[in-house]
Amino acid sequence: MISTTSFFAFVATLAYLVAAVRIAQGIASVPDDSDGSAVPHDRLARRVALGGIVSHAIALWPSLFVGPDPFAPDLAITLSLAGLITIAMFVIAADLRWMDQGAGMLVLSLTSFAPLVPVIWTSPPAVTLSETTIHLHATISLAGYAILTLAVFQALVFSWQEFRIRNHRPSAALSSFASLETQERWLFQWVGLGFFLLSLSLISGLMFIEDILEQHLVHKTALSCLAWAIFGTLLWGRRRYGWRGQQAVRWCLFGFVALAIAYFGSRLILEVLLDRRWYPA
């Protein structure tokens, strides 16, 4: 019989997919002779996504807050939690009109299976993070990662839209997106906010480094600093030289790859393949 946790995880995944399909239908329904104005944000899709967020949170609750070792997420739980925060950020962004419908469709569709990660894969248990300050550091880190994930999705939509326009390949779907100027403004808003949180994450993380080799933090710290430098250079280049377009997209993608490897790639190798932990017991 399916467990309660698994049930809510499946419900969350279904809700995310339904919301993504609803947005896709809105984009596909734009007539060929549209005047080029963006399709209004779909309130029903946001409500369905919000229902998925609630189900997702219920599915993760026992693993995060119930039991003898609360808030000791393994890699699978951490991946799922990152997906939850990312989708929650999208719903907030949609309400604030800070993100395009196309980017939202990508967020929902590509992150929809995050609730199922702990259901289909059980990774080695993590060391309990008992200090409140460590909880705060972990929360800031995941929030920064989620926001920069949104920046990447926004960059992908911007890149596709610019490519179609530059190569004179119009389509009805293009009429459903915001203008390139608006897309670019949203992109740098997300990068700037993510860079701020990433900076806070690195500063707060320094508080917990006692022996960087013994705590197995060399690769994570180096890659996180590399990602910080890439995003910082992107923002500096934008301000100093007016970087935009595909150049900005490339810098954003490079920074995100470095950050994803720092947060999850290094942890996968360390905890799953080498059976070690960042914070030794």
Say what the pTM is: 0.86
Which residues are within 8 A (CB) of 201 and not within 5 positions of it... i.e. 6 or more apart?
137, 140, 141, 144, 224
Percent of the chain with pLDDT over 70: 77
Q: What is the pLDDT of residue 67?
A: 57
User: What digits encode the pLDDT tens for the residues 37-67?
Assistant: 455 567 888 899 999 999 999 999 988 777 5
Determine what percent of the chain is predicted with pLDDT higher than 90: 42
Burial degree of 144 (CB within 10 A; 0-12, 13-18, 19+):
buried
| Rounded Cα gap, residues 234 and 238, in angstroms | 6
Q: Where are the domains of the chain?
A: 4-273
Which of the two residues, 68 and 169, has the higher pLDDT score? 169
How high is the pLDDT of residue 85? 94
Q: Is the CA virtual torsion 103, 106, 108, 111 positive or negative?
A: negative
Q: Tell me, what's the pLDDT at 35?
A: 46
Q: What is the pLDDT of residue 150?
A: 94
Tens-place pLDDT, residues 216-234: 567 788 889 999 999 999 9
pLDDT tens figures, 140-173: 889 999 999 999 999 999 998 888 888 877 666 6
- The listed range with the strongest mean pLDDT (67-71, 97-101, 205-209) is 97-101
